[in-house]
Structure 1
Amino acid sequence: MNNSGSANFLLLPIPEYPLLDCVPNKTVKIVVLGASNVGKTALIVRFLTKRFIGDYEANTGALYSRKVTLDGEEVSLQIQDTPCVALQDDAEGLYCQEQINRSIYWADGYVLVFSITDHNSYRTIRPLYQHVRRIHPSGNIPVILIGNKSDLLRARQVPADEGETLASSLGGVYFEASARENHEGVHTAFLQLCHEVGLHHYTMPMFFFVGHVISLAQVSRALGGGNGEKRRGGLHLARPKSPNMQELKRRFRQVLSSKVKSATAL
């Protein structure tokens, strides 16, 4: 695939292990997942460059990066492309390369893609989503579902209402799009997920307690900035700490407690 011709468009190899955030509150990390020949790479390139390229080399798992404006703020957007996933012969298990598992663990939001002309690709979505939930350390997963190739309506095998029902059951939003013919539909779908990731991960109000203001920076220090190592599904991966809400509340109470002690001492 020729990626020349776009000044603010980078194509990087997939990292051996997930990259660490330099500025966590200004980075949006998305992974695109789906079966073979559903148009994952075409959707990404269409979103980032407005171009459609018909022929692609076999996917090696590229990481695309660029700056975008989200809700009036410039953020670093990283989109991880992935090789295909496949159902096992018994249609109950899912085959994923380790590279895909690393990408799932790394990401903050997920684009699950199937082709409306291929019912088998649609059938991979639910087990794929369940696989994501097993691997990702957070219980709340921003996700959208895209039914690609909406320009091929005569070959449709998956009705639109089935896509909508499935997306609703996964807690996400359904989009039908055509990477070949319609940039706007693809752009809307990706920006929707970027917005949800931003709301989910990077919006935190200031807190007031006995005359003190506790900022996001103080919360970050209270959470301990280092890296943690976790094992999930046989994986041994490094990832910046991402505590759940209960852990966040517990540590936040510690911050408040220290503020009370300081006020009392004065």
Structure 2
Amino acid sequence: MNATEKFNLPVDGILDMFNSFTGHRQSPISAHAALQSTALTPLFQHPKVSSIPKTGMGIIKTVKGCWRRPNGRVTRRSSSSGNPHTVSTDRPSKKSLEQPEMRLSKPSNRHRVVVLGARRVGKSNILRRFLGEDYEEHYEPTVEDFYTKLFLIGGKAYQIDLLDAAGEREFPAKRRLSILTGDIFLVVFSLDDRESLNEALVLLDEIKAAKAKLLKCAHPAVPVVVCGNKADLGAHKVQVGRSEVGQILGEDVPFFETSAKSGSGLEGVFKALATLGGLPVETCPSRHQVVPIRTYRSLRGGRRGRRGTHGAQAAMDPLAQRPSFTSDLQMVLGSSIKHKKPEKCQIQ
């Protein structure tokens, strides 16, 4: 008895059942020849099995109840009625996977606010205030935060993306790409840290240089607001005076002394960001009502919303994620082409 005859497994029965479904018949000789080609050597001898084991029958029943047709559809046979019904297995279109709220605003009404500054200056808490959240006392270093706030103002939809690129301080190329994709900029330093002011000035120069190179303009009009945070610390801890900062920045860059803890000065910052960015003043936190995303969708769809939800409305996108760096780079290249500039865009 040769090795093939000794290696008589339940596979023979399973192959016969599969062949009965597909309409193909294979003789025992060809089946044994296929097994010989694999050169399998059994470690022990299996007894002859005339029936298919339960595991094999489960596989057979699954395949029998669900088989694929050439048109890419699957026919399933109901266990209760026995009538087959067809289910499409085609991949859904890309459009159907998009979140509805991400398609609400027109491209011209979509703006990205990029927040830059040194560590521990209060950038995250300023963003929390803009989002309508409370001040967070506990400090945790921010790697990157990205939020999307959706507005419905005067029958028009607006979308503001907020990017806190704190983790890009050691990655100049990534930070430069974030700057190139930004529409409005908020540069933050701490009034009790002179070094943070020096870093803010470097960031201002970097913003102007990047936008000048992208737009091929020596002095581009970039919407930038500078914020000196932690005004609540008291005069004995302040290392940078308002007059000094005013002399350094000049009259072209709006400057505000703020406190993310108490909220003082932030209304002026948010209003300046809206004015410079061409946004309605209702985007300021004190000028709109924050509603759940479902209510916002109902109002945006033209259906009657809840009682008392008239006027400017806003909602947070719970699924907001920063676009990939590839998408950001494509957006930058598209902006360069729009302004009839070369396709190459150096971010390093």
TM-score, normalisation: structure 1 = 0.60
Q: Which of 232, 249, 256 pairs up with 1:175?
A: 256
Aligned to 1:78: 161
SS at match of 1:52: coil
Q: Which of 161, 164, 189 pairs up with 2:243?
A: 161
Aligned to 1:210: none
Distance in structure 2 (CA, Å) of the matches to 1:145 and 1:123:
12
Aligned to 2:196: 121
CA contact (8 A) 2:106 2:158 kept: no
Shift in CA distance, 71/185, structure 1 to aligned 2, threshold 3 Å: farther
- Match of 1:59, as an amino acid? T
Aligned to 2:269: 189
CA contact (8 A) 2:192 2:237 kept: yes
CA contact (8 A) 1:109 1:143 kept: yes
How far off is 1:42 after superposition?
1.0
Aligned to 1:33: 116
- Match of 1:140, as an amino acid? A
Aligned to 1:238: 330
TM-score, normalisation: structure 2 = 0.47
Aligned to 1:211: none
SS at match of 2:262: coil
How far off is 1:97 after superposition?
4.1
Shift in CA distance, 238/174, structure 1 to aligned 2, threshold 3 Å: same
Distance in structure 1 (CA, Å) of the matches to 2:179 and 2:278:
18
CA contact (8 A) 1:20 1:239 kept: no
CA contact (8 A) 1:147 1:176 kept: yes
The alignment yields a C-alpha RMSD, in angstroms, of: 3.2
Aligned to 2:323: none
Aligned to 1:204: none
How far off is 1:69 after superposition?
5.8
Aligned to 1:198: 278
Distance in structure 2 (CA, Å) of the matches to 1:111 and 1:63:
14
Aligned to 1:131: 206
Shift in CA distance, 96/187, structure 1 to aligned 2, threshold 3 Å: farther
How far off is 1:100 after superposition?
2.2
Q: How does 1:8-157 map to 2 (within 5 A)?
A: 23-68=106-151, 73-83=156-166, 96-136=171-211, 137-138=214-215, 139-153=220-234, 154-157=236-239
- Match of 1:115, as an amino acid? S
- Match of 1:76, as an amino acid? Q
- Match of 1:159, as an amino acid? G
How far off is 1:168 after superposition?
2.5
CA contact (8 A) 1:144 1:174 kept: yes
Distance in structure 1 (CA, Å) of the matches to 2:126 and 2:113:
13
Distance in structure 1 (CA, Å) of the matches to 2:157 and 2:249:
29
- Match of 1:176, as an amino acid? E
Q: What are the Cα deviations for residues 94-151 of structure 1, in whole angstroms up to 9, with x where unaligned?
A: x544332221111101101000000000111222111112223242210000000000
Distance in structure 1 (CA, Å) of the matches to 2:242 and 2:155:
33
Shift in CA distance, 42/21, structure 1 to aligned 2, threshold 3 Å: same
CA contact (8 A) 2:104 2:157 kept: no
- Match of 2:244, as an amino acid? E
SS at match of 1:141: coil
- Structure 2 stretches lacking a partner, 5+ long: 1-101, 280-327, 342-348
SS at match of 2:240: coil
Distance in structure 2 (CA, Å) of the matches to 1:134 and 1:22:
30
CA contact (8 A) 2:144 2:165 kept: yes
> Sequence identity, in percent?
26
How far off is 1:70 after superposition?
6.5
CA contact (8 A) 1:47 1:187 kept: no
Distance in structure 1 (CA, Å) of the matches to 2:103 and 2:206:
23
Q: Please state which structure has a larger fraction of its residues in strand.
A: 1
